[in-house]
A and B are shown apart, each in its own frame.
Chain A
C-alpha cells in the first residue's frame, strides 16, 4: 500500500525514478506502438529460446540412445518393426533407408549400384529434412536480433523529434523540459536492445547445435548406408 501511495505521488510530481509503466504511458502513440511490438517480439523470442532448448536437449538424448541400441541389436528386422516408428530423427532416417531398401530389392533383378545411390539420396534428404524441421523457428531469432535495435532506434528518433518540437513550442530549453521526453524516447531503444541481445545469442547458439546435430545424423546415415550396401552385395 505504501508503494502504491508512493507511485501516485511520484506520478503527480516530477518523475524521480524510472518507472517503465510511466515511461510507456507518457510516450507518443508511435513510440508506444514500437515499444509494444518490441515487447511482443521479446516474448516470442523467449518462447523460442525456452521451447527450442527443451526440444533440442530431448532430441539429442533420444538420438544418442536410439543409435546405441540400433547398433547393438542382433535381430534388425524385429528392432525396426518395434521401434522404427518412433518420433526420433535417427529412427526416421533409418526408416526411410529401410523403406527404400525394400522397394529396391523387391524386384527380380537387383540393380545394386542404382539401389545404393537411391538409398544414399533418400537418407540424405531425410537428414536435411530433420535439420530444417529443427531450425524452423530460428530465422525469427535472426530477424529479431538484427532488426529490433533499428526498430527501437526508430522509436527513439520519433520521441526525440517530438520532445524537440515541444521545446520549440514552449520556448523553454531547460533540462527539466527536455529530459523526460528524451528519457521516454530512449526507453524504446532500451526495449529494442533488450529483445535483440538474447535473440542474437540464442540464434548463434542454436544454429551451432542444429549444425552439430545434423552432422551427427549425417554420420549415422553414412554408417547405416555402408552396412546396407554391404548387405546389398551379399544379397
Chain B
C-alpha cells in the first residue's frame, strides 16, 4: 500500500468503499430501536415437592366446631330398676335397636390405633350424630311412664343412674351450643407437614454446602434444633447422629456436621407460619445429606 498511485477508477472505488463502510457502521449504530424491547424475565415461582403423602384425606367433611363432651341431663325422678320391664316397654320398637347401633361401634373405635401421630393428635371416635343424640330422650319417657303407672313401687332412694351416660364423650370439641359431634377439621395435615418441611428445606438450602472429598457425598448428619416463636434459633443445633462414615471420608465427617450446624445458624431466623408454631417449635431429626 506504500507509494501506490491511484488511478481515476480506483479513486472512485475508494470513495465507494468508504461510503459503504460508513453506512454499515451507521446502520449498526442505529439498530437499537429494533431490539430495545427486552423480554421480561420469567417470574419466580415456588415449587414445593411434597415428600409425604397422606394416606387418607385429613378432613373429608370439615366442620367448624364440635360439641363438648357432656353427660346427659338427669331426670328429676329416680330411675326405676331395669328388671321391672313392663310389656308396654317391649312394644316400643324404636329405642331397642338404637342403643345396639350405638354401642356396637364403641369397641371398634376405641381399639382403632391412632391414625396419624402428628396430624391428628386427638383420635376421637367418629359417630353419627343422629343415633347418638336420639336415644337419651327416647329412652327416658319410657321409665317415666312406667313410674306414673305404678306409683306404689317408688322408693325414697335417689336415682341410681350414672352421670356417665351411654353417649359418653360423643363430642370432640369444646362448644356448648353446637350439637355437632364429628371431629373438627384438622388444620395441620400431611399436606401442611410436607409444605412445612419443604419451607424449612428451602430456607436451609442456600446455606448448606456439603464438604467435598472422597466419598463425602455418603455422609449424612442428623440434627435437632429448637426455635423461638419469631423463628430465631433457641440454643445450638445438636448432632443426633451421623452415618455413612467410612475410612476415606472420616476426615470430612466432623466438617460435615459443622457445616450442617452452620447452615441452620445462617438460615435462622426461619420464616415459618406462626399459627403452626407448636409443629416447628422443635425440629427433630433433620437429615443433612448431599442433596438436603
Contact = CB atoms under 8 A, between A and B. Distances in A.
Interface of A: 3, 6-7, 10, 16-21, 39, 42-52, 54-55, 137
Given A3-B30, A7-B32, A47 B17 contact: yes
B13 A49 contact: yes
Interface of B: 1, 7, 9-10, 12-14, 16-18, 20-21, 25, 28-33, 35-36, 38
A17 B32 contact: yes
Contact of A54 (B12, B28, B31): B12
Contacts of A45: 17
A70 to B, nearest CB: 25
Which among A17, A21, A50, A51 has the greatest number of chain B C-beta atoms within 10 A?
A51
Contacts of A47: 10, 13-14, 16-17
A25 B193 CA distance: 58
Contacts, number: 62
Contacts of A46: 13, 16-17, 20-21
A16 B12 contact: no
A51 B9 contact: yes
A6 B32 contact: yes
Classify the interface of chain B: helix, strand, loop or mixed. helix
B9 A44 contact: no
B123 to A, nearest CB: 55
Given A20-B28, A51-B9, 15 more contacts: A3-B32, A7-B29, A17-B31, A19-B32, A20-B29, A21-B29, A39-B21, A43-B14, A43-B17, A43-B18, A44-B17, A46-B13, A50-B13, A51-B12, A55-B9
Contacts of B28: 18-20
A50 B17 CA distance: 7
Contacts of B29: 7, 19-21
In the A-B complex, the 8 residue pairs with the closest CB atoms: A51-B13, A46-B17, A50-B13, A47-B14, A47-B13, A51-B10, A47-B17, A51-B9
6 contacts: A17-B35, A20-B25, A46-B17, A48-B13, A49-B13, A51-B10
A50 B21 contact: no
Contacts of B30: 3
Given A21-B25, A43-B18, A44-B1, A3 B33 contact: yes
A233 B12 CA distance: 49
B21 A43 contact: yes
